[in-house]
Amino acid sequence: MSTIQLPRWLELALPFFHPVLMILASALALYTLYLGLQVRRLRTASAEERKELIKGKFGQRHFLAGSLFLLLMVFGALGGMAVTYIRSHKLFVGPHLLAGLGIVALVTTSSALAPLMKDGQKVWARNVHLLLNVVILGILGWQAVTGFQIVQRIVNQMLASPQVT
């Protein structure tokens, strides 16, 4: 099997692409949650509160942040698998990979409910959307722990390997 020789700086930086992207995606998920809660608050607010909340355009911002989160999760999963394959010439099928793929499926499903939630027509879609996103946040938290363990192993391997120039 032939391998592509990467520049040393890229070889050192590449393993950290996925973790950094996932940290950003996790922060975005929390921001998206905040925006979603503001949209929910808007639905039950008094007339005076509604006037103020409408100015925040929380619905539009929630939709955009959720769309960006979906994009980051898809590219993050593909990027993580690609970097793993480039570094070790195989994928490690384990809990971290499977849960990551599960997150992508759940985020996609949650996003697909958006048209059904438009104008508050389908209450069940909103409830399923909320439930899926709570599950996603839980799995993301667990993924952070297992991902940190993987990053520690990579750093230890880097420190243990001889520096070839």
Residues in the chain: 165
Inter-residue contact 4 to 16 (CB < 8 Å): no
Residue 104 lies in a domain: yes
Find the domain containing 12 and state its range. 8-158
Other CB atoms within a 10 A radius of the CB of residue 140 amount to: 20
Residue 158 pLDDT level (bands cut at 50, 70, 90)? confident
Residue 115 lies in a domain: yes
Inter-residue contact 86 to 14 (CB < 8 Å): yes
From the list 100, 84, 85, the residue with the least C-alpha distance to 151 is 84
Residue 164 lies in a domain: no
Cα distance between residue 155 and residue 27, in whole Å: 24
Residue 163 lies in a domain: no
Residue 1 lies in a domain: no
User: Tell me, what's the pLDDT at 2?
Assistant: 53
Q: Where are the beta strands (DSSP E) in 5-64?
A: none
- Pick the residue with more confidence: 111 or 118? 111
User: Tell me, what's the pLDDT at 164?
Assistant: 53
Residue 3 lies in a domain: no
Show the tokens assigned to 78: 């593909």
Q: Is 148 left (phi over 0), alpha (psi -120 to 50) or beta?
A: alpha
Long-range contacts of 117-125 (CB under 8 A, 24+ apart): 120/43
Q: Which of 73-82, 119-128, 143-152 has the lowest mean pLDDT?
A: 119-128
pLDDT at position 15 over 60: yes
User: Tell me, what's the pLDDT at 93?
Assistant: 92
3-state SS of 31-73? Answer: HHHHHHHHHHHHHHCCHHHHHHHHHCCHHHHHHHHHHHHHHHH
User: Tell me, what's the pLDDT at 7?
Assistant: 85
Residue 3 pLDDT level (bands cut at 50, 70, 90)? low
Here the CATH number for the domain that contains residue 64 is 1.20.120.1770
Residue 124 lies in a domain: yes
Name the phi and psi angles at 64, rounded to 5. -65, -45
Query: For the chain, how many structural domains are there in total?
Result: 1
User: Tell me, what's the pLDDT at 5?
Assistant: 79
Query: Locate tokens 């950003």: which residue?
Result: 24
Residue 165 lies in a domain: no
